[in-house]
């Protein structure tokens, strides 16, 4: 029987490419999304369904899991990909913006994991692939809110693997560098506070460097390939950096003192 993957946030970017990648490899794919009624392409592919799933809505998660098992008879891999960035200076963030950022990027992942675990536990197998970021182990200016959610995801996943390993359930953490998707425009939300101007020059300077960083980003099919490798690996390896930038930054971060590493980041943004 073909294997089945359920992916969150498959309407665009990394999630969408991952759905196509698994489909091309012969998998059954539940390419879940918030607005499946808008989907024109994925839904036409063989062995692909597009259940409605909002990671902040537990009922929609349960229904998507149920309809996927009903259609394909199984779920073998879950890819927690849905996420977005609240970007800018922290002081300007509203409580609602912060709540929403954590609701989607952290509690959204936890909601999906908690929903699939009874099934994986009964099946005595399964793989959970959580899309974190290089920003799950290092940080960049103006990303304090987003990157703290990714540190949470990496920490959550790393601790979770202890209790799931005896049950034969694998956990994988993907750490992409810059990837050219809707992430940096349509999906991104920004902090802004009336009358708060002291950061303006700093923000301008950071944006110039960030734009360069993004323009050199990878195509999402590279990340899809790494997700596929992680999902199909037979070993218990936890971390999967994706892209040359991710590998370089994360190696430096591991080998050098944090103060040295952050002085390099400051130099890059000068």
Ligand X SMILES: NC(=O)c1ccc[n+]([C@@H]2O[C@H](COP(=O)([O-])OP(=O)(O)OC[C@H]3O[C@@H](n4cnc5c(N)ncnc54)[C@H](OP(=O)(O)O)[C@@H]3O)[C@@H](O)[C@H]2O)c1
For 83, the enclosing helix (H) or strand (E) is none
To the nearest whole angstrom, how small is the minimum distance from the Cβ of residue 86 to ligand X?
Answer: 11
- Of 167-206, which residues contact ligand X (CB under 6 A)? 176, 178-179, 181-183, 187
146 is catalytic: yes
Size of the site for ligand X (CB under 6 A): 31
Q: Whose Cβ is closer to ligand X: residue 83's or residue 141's?
A: 83
Q: Does 86 bind ligand X (CB under 6 A)?
A: no
Q: Which residue among 47, 56, 67, 225 contacts ligand X (CB under 6 A)?
A: 56
Cα angle 199, 205, 210 (rounded to 5 degrees) comes to: 115
Position 35 contacts ligand X (CB under 6 A)? yes
Cα 217 to Cα 180: distance, rounded to the nearest angstrom: 5
12 binds ligand X (CB under 6 A): yes
- Asked if 150 is an active-site residue, the reply is yes
Pick 89 or 106: Cβ nearer ligand X: 106
Q: What's the longest Cα–Cα distance across the chain?
A: 61
Q: 245: Cβ–Cβ under 8 A, 6 or more apart, which residues? A: 134, 177, 178, 213, 216, 218
Nearer to ligand X, 89 or 174 (CB): 174
Q: Which residues contact 129 (CB under 8 A, 6 or more apart)?
A: 77, 78, 79, 80, 172, 174, 227, 230, 231
Three-state DSSP class for 148? helix
Rounded Cα–Cα distance for residues 115 and 133 (Å): 23
As annotated, the active-site residues are 132, 146, 150
Q: Which residues form the interface with ligand X (CB under 6 A)?
A: 8-9, 11-15, 33-35, 53-56, 81-84, 104, 108, 131, 133, 176, 178-179, 181-183, 187, 217, 220
């Amino acid at each position: 029987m073909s294997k089945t993957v359920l992916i969150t946030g498959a309407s665009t970017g990394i999630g969408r490419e991952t759905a196509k990648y698994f489909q091309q490899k012969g998998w059954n794919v539940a390419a879940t999304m918030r607005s499946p009624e808008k989907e024109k392409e994925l839904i036409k592919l063989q062995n692909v369904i597009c259940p409605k799933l909002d990671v902040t809505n537990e009922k929609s998660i349960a229904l998507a899991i149920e309809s996927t098992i009903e259609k394909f008879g199984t779920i073998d891999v879950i890819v927690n990909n849905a996420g977005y960035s609240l970007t800018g200076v922290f002081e300007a963030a509203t409580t609602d913006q912060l709540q929403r950022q954590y609701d989607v990027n952290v509690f959204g992942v936890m909601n999906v994991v908690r929903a699939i675990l009874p099934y994986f536990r009964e099946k005595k197998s399964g793989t959970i692939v959580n899309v974190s970021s290089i920003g799950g182990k290092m940080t960049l200016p103006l990303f304090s809110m987003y990157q703290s959610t990714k540190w949470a995801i990496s920490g959550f996943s790393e601790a979770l693997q202890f209790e799931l390993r005896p049950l034969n359930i694998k956990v994988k953490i993907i750490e992409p560098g810059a990837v050219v998707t809707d992430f940096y425009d349509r999906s991104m939300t920004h902090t802004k506070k009336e009358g708060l101007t002291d950061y303006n020059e700093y923000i301008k300077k950071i944006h110039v460097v960030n734009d360069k960083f993004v323009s050199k980003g990878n195509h999402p099919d590279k990340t899809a390939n790494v997700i596929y490798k992680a999902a199909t690996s037979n070993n218990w390896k936890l971390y999967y950096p994706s892209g040359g930038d991710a590998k370089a930054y994360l190696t430096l971060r591991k080998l050098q003192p944090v103060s040295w590493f952050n002085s390099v980041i400051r130099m890059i943004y000068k």
